[in-house]
Structure 1
Amino acid sequence: MNRKVYIMIIVTLLQFSALSQPYTELSALKFQKYSSNENQTNEYSAAIFIPIKTKKNNYLIFGAGYNKLSLENSLNQPKISNLEALAIQLGRVINLNNDWNMTTILIQKISSDFQDFSKKDYQIGVVSFLTKQLNEHTKYKLGLFYNQEFWGPQIFPILGFDFILSDKLRFFGLLPRMINLEYKISKSGYLGFKFNMKRTSYRLAEQYAEGYVQEFKIDTQAYIDYYLNDKLTLFGSFGYALVRKYKIFETKDILAEDHLSGFNNQLMAHAGLAIRIRSD
């Protein structure tokens, strides 16, 4: 397989949150903190992603991820203080020709406060898209995302792009979820600015009438990535959550909808360690 085809396939082997980044993240440990006055949120996550080459330069995709939100208030601790999600991904990349490939990933997830478990904690989703390598400097992705959230189906089109503007400057994204501008400062270092959006839900325990928390956030970050070697990467960022909302639904008035309203727009910091394969 020529290098052009290899790079195009390997870059598409990503979990949904990173489908348009110029690298494949094979594993990662991350910590993110939001802080404002007496309210703070700690977010911990871990992920592993395994592509397996099959016949005709196609790939099977296996992945797993864990995420935990810990909500804290030094004056008045909320009743809902921990929200967690455990996800498994299974998918396939089919190489159509030198310029096109198709990726489909099935996502199965348990998302709740993890106080008790039932089939109501379960979510299922799928993302499918085509990737077009227009030339060595331009790439597009077009597809559809679906996930069965606790409020109902979440469906939206996705448009990915990756523009290599120069030897040092790159502009890439996955609309409507992420936009990123990256500048290479050295052989091992990258600076950048990114915009992220996320909307998801967590099922609550039986004592809260099995209602759910809806999370919606939009944040902006300045970041730095430093490669200790070809694959091992340290990364960090600092930014601000322009929009950050947690609303509670279907708890039969056991908890007010605005019970977590204090955890809103906040300063944020992010750090972690990852194993990555870059395409440049």
Structure 2
Amino acid sequence: MMFTRLVAGLSLGVGVLLPMASQAQGYAEGVGLSYEVLPLKLTADDTQRTFRADVFRANVILPLLVSADSTGSVLVGTSLEHLRFTGERPGFPVRSVTGILPLVGYRKRLSPQLELTALALPALNSDLRDVQARDLTWGGVVRAGYRTSARRAYRLTLGYRQQFYGPQYIVLLGLDWQLGQRWRAFGDLPTTFTLSYAASPKFAAGFNLNGINTAYRLQDRDRYFQYQQGHYGLFAEAYVSAHWALRATAAYAVTRRLDVFEKNDQWPATIDYIGLGQEPVPLNPLIEKGPAFKVALSYRVATP
């Protein structure tokens, strides 16, 4: 599900579902680059093997057309995600998968308090070994944002996405709250949340949650690979120039699913992270929860 992008760097999937389209947290992000490493442990035949995943992401979104009164704009952009697995991993057949998420939408400010955004989110999620039309999935979201004061705003995002693990319904509750001169809380729960402390105009640190729930088609027997995470972590960031910010995050996966499934073994439906009905059975051995480390560079423009 990543508005990751989700939504907050609507990253791919849910965690990435509205890639950098929001203007929460006091800034809008037009460009984002990140690298994440996941040290992994796989238990097979009572033997534990260690390997790793390297995750590369890139995002860009631009207001293409602006109305004469600056209350409306067309949004275009794209998000890219590439996961690569290396190391000994018996029973886990995935080498790499790639997600390409074009984005097109429209944002309209109806009043100083109310803003509406609609986004179409087609996606190509695949191991790219035999790209076919069925690698493509479709989805979209609508978002309403309402500012109650200069320090507080709320958002509601509703949407739907085709996923290889079954239909996914998106319900995100957003908050942007300036708690004081230095503290700020913002995010779109349950996929993203940040509590930030600004130690100076150029340095901040805090806590964040980043969630992803997406899937990729595999060429081998037309199976699919599900990538689900719920990372809770601590971050520190610094502005290296007027607009470019560099962030480092150390996190732990409270939720982690890196599993391969048969094509027709799906959830009847999923709401954000929550699967409804009988759970599909993974074909690979158990991959344990563990840490994650990430660095990200983003281009930011301040917003009121």
Q: TM-score range by the shorter chain?
A: 0.7 to 0.9
Q: In the alignment, which residue of structure 1 is the partner of 2:67?
A: 54
Where does structure 2 lack aligned partners over 5 or more consecutive residues? Answer: 1-6, 11-17, 42-49, 266-280
Relative to structure 1, is the Cα distance of residues 203 and 36 closer, same or farther in structure 2, using a 3 angstrom cutoff?
closer
Aligned residue among 257, 260, 264 for 2:282? 257
Give a deviation string over 1:106-156, Cα, whole Å, max 9, x none: 111100111111011001111111111111000011130211111322113
CA distance in 2, matches of 1:215, 1:82: 12
Relative to structure 1, is the Cα distance of residues 260 and 119 closer, same or farther in structure 2, using a 3 angstrom cutoff?
farther
More helix per residue: 1
Q: In the alignment, which residue of structure 2 is the partner of 1:279?
A: 303
Identity percentage of aligned residues: 22
Matched, 1:225 2:229: no
Matched pairs, number: 264
Q: In the alignment, which residue of structure 2 is the partner of 1:72?
A: 86
The one-letter amino acid of 1:223's match is F
In the TM superposition, residue 266 of structure 1 has moved relative to its aligned partner by 1.7
Matched, 1:267 2:280: no
Q: In the alignment, which residue of structure 1 is the partner of 2:256?
A: 244
Give a deviation string over 1:185-235, Cα, whole Å, max 9, x none: 111011010112211110011xx2212111211111101121122211111
Where does structure 1 lack aligned partners over 5 or more consecutive residues? Answer: 1-11
CA distance in 2, matches of 1:21, 1:170: 7
Aligned residue among 35, 39, 44 for 1:35? 39
The runs of 4+ residues in structure 1 deviating greater than 6 Å are none
Q: In the alignment, which residue of structure 1 is the partner of 2:140?
A: 126
Is this contact kept in 2: 1:13–1:24, CA < 8 A? no
The one-letter amino acid of 2:233's match is Q
The alignment's TM-score, normalised by the length of structure 1, stands at: 0.87
Q: In the alignment, which residue of structure 2 is the partner of 1:24?
A: 28
Task: Map 1:184-195 onto structure 2 (within 5 A).
Answer: 184-195=198-209
In the TM superposition, residue 23 of structure 1 has moved relative to its aligned partner by 2.2
Is this contact kept in 2: 1:190–1:224, CA < 8 A? yes
RMSD across aligned positions (CA): 2.2
Is this contact kept in 2: 1:69–1:84, CA < 8 A? yes
The alignment's TM-score, normalised by the length of structure 2, stands at: 0.81
CA distance in 2, matches of 1:91, 1:74: 43
